[in-house]
Amino acid sequence: MNKAKVFWASPNEIASLRNTAKNMVTNNLVKTRLILDEILDNINKGDKVAVKVHVGEALNTHYLRHDYVREVVEAIKSKGGTPTLIETHGRGNEYELLDICEDYSVCVGHRRKTADHNKIAHLHGYTESIIGAPLKFIDGEEGLEGKIVPINGIHFKDVSVASGLFEFDKMVVISHFKGHPQAGFGGALKQVGIGCVTKKNKFLAHMEKAYEVNSKKCDITKCNKECITACPVNAIDMNGEKALINASKCFGCHLCVKKCPIKRAIKAPRMNEVKDFVERFMDSFAAVLSFGPENIRYINFAFDITMICDCTPNPGMPVVPDLGIFGSSDPVAIDKACFDAETKAPGLPILNKEDEWKEPLQAGVEKFGAMMDIVKPYYQFEAALKNNIGSIDYELIKI
């Protein structure tokens, strides 16, 4: 069996005041185009091409620069395709306003709905005027518009894939490779397995089940059925004298718990164990592949590699040096190549809470697992292989 091909461009750039072809070919934006020339072999003139991005959370300063996304857009156009940036909303339905000091507050959680998600995208440069392609939220205004795709997954028999994805002919998945506090790392596999499904399956990846009514606590004589009016998807109804939550509709927005005046009348589910979380979003990836594996290409940017993800305002300091740019038609192989590069690289010194430099982790040590005890990054590859998503055997081809 042939190994999957992963194309790689070193992060090294030649510092020079004099611009020549010899030193400019080391520029990371130029190398992005060289990688794309190798992997965008499936795009034909007239193809509508979805470009999957993650615009980053409010106050996050480590998200992927828009410059790299623009290179992807321009490469697609050069092949006659029509690119559109695609994104889905974050899970949940609420924002958090945090008072920092007397006259300064910050608001996080902006990726819940289109209006506020658009504002963050604009702030981070993910707009048509800058990148050259419009941004479309493929899961609708509230993040709930999906197409049910049947699968034979580890946990799921069907998945709600963002319905807008199926309006396109091809997809290019752009991922910022970095750490993640549950998955171990975030790359192409998580970008698709979480980033191309609706809030329903985002919720089911993170939490073990839907919210439930505690029949011993629920008492409609002590409330005005606030839970029913609060639910945005009409998942709550009356079952005699007690409320009842329809698990097939619940997407975990938590509004019923916030509005219910009776303490503990609604039970929030527990967060999934790391292995279950990984297996569940890998099931979701398998459902997204109904789009057609041959129609998808992947490019990973392993720059500014922080300990946790772009979904949070505080992802931490970079933990390894930049590793370069990776491209492939195999999502498992490309993430495995990034993972191996991260393991082989030396760690970076990091300031601790006392502002003292910590001794960096040595080359050969897997950094994310070493720094976050609960994560087991290799779970992603095990679950991906169980779902027949791709191969961990790859040939690394340097550009």
Angle at 196 between CA 279 and CA 33, to 5 degrees: 110
Query: Does residue 397 register a pLDDT over 80?
Result: yes
In angstroms, rounded to a whole number, what is the distance separating the alpha carbons of residues 135 and 132? 10
Distances (CA, A) of 166 to 48, 68, 104, 257, 296: 10, 25, 43, 34, 12
What's the helix, strand, coil split of the chain in %, to 5? 30, 25, 45
Cβ–Cβ < 8 Å for 236, 229: no
Query: Does residue 94 register a pLDDT over 80?
Result: no
The confidence score (pLDDT) of residue 174 equals 98
Query: Does residue 72 register a pLDDT over 80?
Result: yes
The 10s digit of each residue's pLDDT in 344-382 is 999 999 998 899 999 999 999 999 999 998 999 999 999
Cβ–Cβ < 8 Å for 111, 90: yes
The 10s digit of each residue's pLDDT in 244-267 is 999 999 999 999 999 999 999 999
In angstroms, rounded to a whole number, what is the distance separating the alpha carbons of residues 293 and 279? 19
Q: Which of 83, 94, 93, 17 is nearest to 52 (CA)?
A: 83
Confidence of residue 291 (pLDDT cuts 50, 70, 90): very high
Please report, as a single letter, which amino acid is at residue 245.
I
Every domain of the chain and the residues it spans: 4-206+272-398, 212-267
The sign one gets for the Cα dihedral 183, 189, 191, 194 is negative
Distances (CA, A) of 126 to 40, 134, 143, 306: 22, 9, 19, 21
In angstroms, rounded to a whole number, what is the distance separating the alpha carbons of residues 237 and 9? 56
Other beta carbons within 10 Å of 332: 28
Cβ–Cβ < 8 Å for 39, 327: yes
Enter the DSSP assignment of 349: P
The 10s digit of each residue's pLDDT in 195-207 is 999 999 999 999 9
Task: Give CB contacts under 8 A, 24+ apart, made by 148-151.
Answer: 149/287, 149/288, 149/290, 151/283, 151/286, 151/287
Cβ–Cβ < 8 Å for 266, 227: yes
Query: Does residue 240 register a pLDDT over 90?
Result: no
Tell me the sheet residues that pair with 207. 271
Confidence of residue 160 (pLDDT cuts 50, 70, 90): very high
Tell me the sheet residues that pair with 267. 212
| Domain 212-267 listed as CATH 3.30.70.20 | yes
Cβ–Cβ < 8 Å for 102, 61: no
The 10s digit of each residue's pLDDT in 117-142 is 999 999 999 999 999 999 999 999 99
Left if phi > 0, otherwise alpha if psi is -120 to 50, otherwise beta: which for 225?
A: left
The confidence score (pLDDT) of residue 1 equals 66
379-386 helix and 274-288 helix, angle to the nearest 10 degrees: 40
Please report, as a single letter, which amino acid is at residue 357.
W
Distances (CA, A) of 314 to 90, 91, 309, 360, 381: 16, 18, 9, 20, 27
What's the start-to-end Cα distance of the chain, in Å? 24
User: What percentage of the chain exceeds 90 in pLDDT?
Assistant: 90
